[in-house]
Structure 1
Amino acid sequence: MSERGDLLVVRDLVAGYGAAPVLHAVDLTVPAGTIAAVVGANGAGKTTLLRTISGVLRPQAGRIELAGEDLRGVPVERLVHRGMAHVPEGRGVIGELSVDENLRLGGLWRRDRADAARALDEVYQLFEPLARRRRHLGHQLSGGERQMLALGRALVGRPRLLLLDEPSLGLAPRVVARTMALLRQLRDGTGLTVLLVEQNVRSALSVADQGVVMSLGRVVTTAPATALRDDVDLRHAYLGF
């Protein structure tokens, strides 16, 4: 890890699908124990950025480091072991499995079975609706409960870095507010580092420490979230409010 305490460092990242890159020389740093919100219009490359960092998409050029370790060539499953968890857009809950089975999947790889059990108990304490519905199947849950389940499954693995893609998608405003408050609680209580991609810019910047504005596959600016909220010209140009 660098002297600044950056947990995630991305340098000159180029990535895409086929021959045409979507990301163009993206630079990004996320200090440990902070929330960074990646915001911008549809098509800006936000989801591609998370998919590349998490190893789902192979970068064409550039460097990705987690706690100073070069992640190039590291298989996706090994990234999980190194402390990275990715909750994709659409949440990825397995509908045919129960809540409890979905959560236990998040800790199957862990060798410390006692701590994996403690992590499971902690998730049930954090998400009381899941504790009440632990035997229900994933497809029987509401949208908000599925979001809780996806987050909970990631947390059972005790990640250092959580990549979270569009957690507010399709959810009621009160559920979105609860989700954002939870991220702040995890950051403050456990030191979790979060890289958040979110279309709801106001909500994202309300919880984030820093904001990263993307447009057409490039980082336009990186600044404290409060500064981005107060920058009227930037908001109008790139964020739509």
Structure 2
Amino acid sequence: MSEALLTVDRLTAGYGDAPVLHGVSLSLAPGTVTAVLGANGAGKTTLLRTVSGLVRAESGRIMLGGEDITRMPVERLVRHGLVHVPEGRGLIAELTVDENLRLGGLWRRGHAEARRSLEEVYNLFPALPARRRQPSQQLSGGEQQMLALGRALMARPRLLLLDEPSLGLAPRVTADFMGLLRHLVDSAGLTVLVVEQNVKSALSVADRGVVISLGRVVVAAAADRLRGDNELRHHFLGF
């Protein structure tokens, strides 16, 4: 088995004097999708925000590619290959599609490389080139989610954190998005940690699932096991 790309070791974090995560541990192998599942308020979003540096860890350790990134500033994390697409997509509504995409590659020093990345993203998302001069707020929900993913890919991440990517999307659009995500993992070696309320959709493309309850990992198993274990699904995932 490949050495873990991301290792979270006994992570405790929260807001002010109210811890949300209590000793969370997990690891992600390179080129895999791991789905973080659980009820609202379980700590899923806090986990992503702590890994990406938006919430300060109180204790524990976060390792990316063997390097300790627990206290690393957000801008340095991007340079190390970690990109976070938050819930709500984080697009700048007034900026055009093209401008939003270019923001994703701002830190890259080579203009030629940035142009290549932009061309690759437009090829990957055929609906976006015709919209490139339109403000992102004029796009449909599905197009906005594709734009958010495209902006993240502009940074050429090793590790992509996605928070509720299917929120507000129609089932068919969600299925297309998840299929594209799986394609990126299989073809480009991307590693994904995704928080998702649509459990069936997430497990359909995930290699592993991690179930969090009240800030603690209660189950970590292969996605096939989570899909096939009726008792476990009913108890922790409600279906």
Q: Is the 8 A contact 2:2 2:30 kept in 1?
A: no
- Structure 2 match to 1:38: 36
Q: How many pairs align?
A: 239
Q: Report the counterpart of residue 108 of structure 1 in structure 2.
A: 106
Match in the other structure for 2:17: 19
Shift of residue 107, structure 1, vs aligned partner: 0.4
By how many angstroms is 1:233 displaced? 1.2
User: Of residues 195, 219, 222 in structure 1, which corresponds to 2:220?
Assistant: 222
Q: State the SS of the aligned residue for 1:229.
A: helix
What one-letter code is carried by the residue in structure 2 that aligns with 1:48? T
Per-residue CA deviation, residues 181-211 of structure 1 (Å, 9 max, x unaligned), is 0111000110000001000000000000000
- Which of 4, 7, 13 is matched with 1:6 structurally? 4
Q: For residue 79 of structure 1, what is the aligned residue in structure 2?
A: 77
For 1:185-196, list aligned pairs within 5 A.
185-196=183-194
Provide the identity percentage.
Answer: 68
Give the Å deviation of 1:4: 3.4
Counterpart check, 1:160 vs 2:155: no
Task: Render the CA deviation track for 1:110-132: whole Å, top value 9, x for unaligned.
Answer: 11322221111111011111111
Counterpart Cα distance in 1 of 2:60 and 2:11: 4
Cα distance in 2 for residues equivalent to 1:60 and 1:234: 31
Work out the CA distance in 1 between the residues paired with 2:44 and 2:201. Answer: 16
Give the gaps of 5 or more residues in structure 1: none
1:225 aligned partner, one-letter code:
A
Name structure 2 gaps, 5 residues minimum.
Answer: none
* Superposition CA RMSD, Å: 0.8
Q: 1:88 aligns with which of 82, 86, 89?
A: 86
Aligned partner of 2:208 in structure 1 is 210
d(CA) in 1 for partners of 2:71, 2:222? 32
* Alignment partners' CA distance in 1, 2:19 and 2:150: 33
> Does the CA contact (< 8 Å) of 2:102 and 2:151 recur in 1?
yes
Secondary structure of the structure 2 residue equivalent to 1:194: strand
- List structure 1 runs of 4+ shifted beyond 3 angstroms: none
Aligned with 2:145 (options 140, 144, 147): 147
Q: Secondary structure at the match of 2:127?
A: helix
The equivalent residue for 1:129 is: 127
The whole-number CA distance in structure 1 between the counterparts of 2:229 and 2:39 is: 17
Task: Output the CA distance in 2 between the equivalents of 1:210 and 1:140.
Answer: 35
* Alpha-carbon distance between aligned partners in 2 of 1:11 and 1:73, rounded to the nearest angstrom: 14
